[in-house]
Chains A and B, each alone.
Chain A
Amino acid sequence: MKLSVSGKGGSGKTTISGTLARLAGRQGRQVIAIDADTNPNLALTLGLGAAQFEDTPPLPHGLMQHKQVDGETVLSLSRPVAEVTAQFGKQCPDDVRLIMVGSVRGAASG
């Protein structure tokens, strides 16, 4: 199952998505939690301490590439998805893997 949690800033998206992720993990499901917020803080709700949070690497740029499929150009991952989640998925309590996507890399970094 793939689900997203959206809503206005401050509405409680992160509390809800992080808690749902851990409940699913406790059920023994494989869970990938994707923090797509440019000001990421899902890690804390998932139970990572501040120190572990700081050293979670965001996904690198250039992971997507243009590919030709049936004569059409599509954008897809340049590496197998399982490899990406294994390498960049931070292990969290209840066996949740966190992938940080949205964070900015620094001021004026684009």
Chain B
Amino acid sequence: MCSSHATVRGLLHELPADDSVVIVDAEASPEHLSRATIEAVDLQLVVAEPYFKSLETARRYSKLGRDLGIPKVVIVANKVRNEEDQAAIEGFCESHDMQLFAVIPFDSMLAGAERAGVAPLDYDPQAASMAAIVAMYDRIVHEPIASRA
């Protein structure tokens, strides 16, 4: 286990910082932060669902990411079902000084894609959740990220 953290950390440091894109699907445990596994990323997307434990986790992970010196740490709201859900996440982000970067709606398509064993983007590229991720991708590539201090 220790060695896989060291390996990801090493890969992230040594992969070139150019036009290419490196995306790390981190494990759920906070070790990817406490062991500085992802310290070399430019952007940390912290996914939060609209309920308290998920938001609390997002708050802790955001703080750990900022402590690591990651230049941009933002919240991605996921599985948002209605305005109340969105308001809850917006309120939490405002009161904890976190930037709400994107809102992805709850989408029953994802369960269908899972059942079929097919990638969601292949199963239904027009689905609401996919459209929201496309919009988020555009924002990621168009918004400059401040360079590391």
Chain A interface (Cβ < 8 Å from any Cβ of B)? 1-24, 27, 29-38, 42, 44-47, 49-50, 59, 61-64, 75-77, 81, 84-85, 93, 99, 101-102, 110
Q: Which of these, A16, A30, A77, A110, contacts B11 with CB under 8 Å?
A: A77
B1-25: CB near A (< 8 Å → 1, else 0) gives: 1011011111111111101111111
Chain B residues with CB below 8 A from A84, complex form? 11
State the B residues within 8 Å of A (CB): 1, 3-4, 6-17, 19-28, 32-33, 37-38, 40-49, 53-54, 57-58, 61, 65, 76, 78-79, 104, 110, 117-122, 129-130, 133-134, 136-137, 140-141, 145
27 example contacts (A-B, Cβ-Cβ < 8 A) are as follows: A1-B43, A1-B140, A4-B26, A4-B38, A6-B38, A7-B61, A9-B28, A11-B49, A11-B54, A13-B25, A13-B28, A14-B25, A15-B110, A19-B120, A20-B136, A20-B137, A23-B134, A24-B137, A36-B4, A36-B8, A36-B24, A36-B32, A37-B26, A37-B27, A38-B27, A45-B119, A101-B8
C-alpha spacing A72/B35, complex, angstroms: 19
CA distance A37 to B120 in the complex (A): 19
Of B4, B6, B110, B141, the most chain A CB neighbours within 10 A belong to: B4
* B128 vs chain A, min Cβ distance (A): 13
Nearest CB of B to A101, in Å: 5
Question: Measured between alpha carbons, how far is A33 from B11 in the docked complex, in Å?
Answer: 11
Q: Is B14 a contact of A42 with CB atoms below 8 Å? A: no
Docked-complex contact A32 and B21, CB < 8 angstroms: yes
Given A2-B41, A17-B24, A30-B19: A61 touches B3 (CB 8 Å cut-off): yes
A19-B133, A77-B14, A81-B14 are contacts. A34–B32 as well, Cβ < 8 Å? Answer: no
Q: Is the interface of A mostly helix, strand, loop or mixed?
A: mixed
Residue contact B22 to A16, C-beta cutoff 8 Å: no
Whether B58 contacts A7 by the Cβ 8 Å rule is: yes
Docked pose: A79 CA to B8 CA in angstroms: 14
- A87 CB to closest chain B CB (Å) equals 13
Give the chain A neighbours of B76 by CB distance below 8 A. Answer: 5, 7, 16
